[in-house]
Amino acid sequence: MSRVLVTGASGFVGRAVVTAFAAAGRTLRAAVRRPPEPTFPANVEVIQHPDLAHSVDWRPLLDGVDQVVHLAGTAHYRGVEPKLLDRINHLATAQLAIAAARAGVRHFVFVSSIQAQSGPAADHALTERDPAVPIGAYGRSKLAAEEAVRSAGVPFTILRPVALYGPGVKGNFARLVRAAASRWPLPAKNFGNRRSLLGIDNFVSALDFVLSSPATIGELYVVADPGIPPALSEVFTVLRQAMGRWPLIVAMPTYYVEIPFRVMRRTDLWNRLGGNLRVDASKLIAAGWQPAHDTRSGLALMMRPR
Per-residue pLDDT tens, the chain, 306 aa: give them.
Answer: 689 999 999 999 999 999 999 999 999 999 999 888 889 988 999 999 999 999 899 999 999 999 999 999 987 666 678 899 999 999 999 999 999 999 999 999 999 999 999 988 898 999 999 999 998 899 999 999 999 999 999 999 999 999 999 998 988 788 889 989 998 898 888 878 899 999 999 999 999 999 999 999 999 999 999 999 999 899 999 999 999 989 999 887 666 565 655 656 656 665 666 678 999 999 999 999 999 999 999 999 998 766
CA–CA distance, 35 with 62 (Å, rounded to integer)? 19
Task: Indicate the burial class of 230 (C-beta count within 10 angstroms; 0-12, 13-18, 19 or more).
Answer: buried
Phi/psi region, residue 36 (left: phi>0; alpha: psi -120 to 50; beta: rest), is beta
Side-chain-side CA neighbours of residue 198 (13 Å): 24
Residue 211 to residues 2, 26, 110, 205, Cα–Cα distance (Å): 10, 11, 11, 10
β pairing state of 156-161 and 164-165: unpaired
Helix, strand, or coil here: 292? coil
CA–CA distance, 115 with 103 (Å, rounded to integer)? 30
| pTM of model > 0.85 | yes
Domains of the chain: 3-166+195-228+277-293 (3.40.50.720), 171-193+230-274 (no CATH)
CA–CA distance, 117 with 79 (Å, rounded to integer)? 21
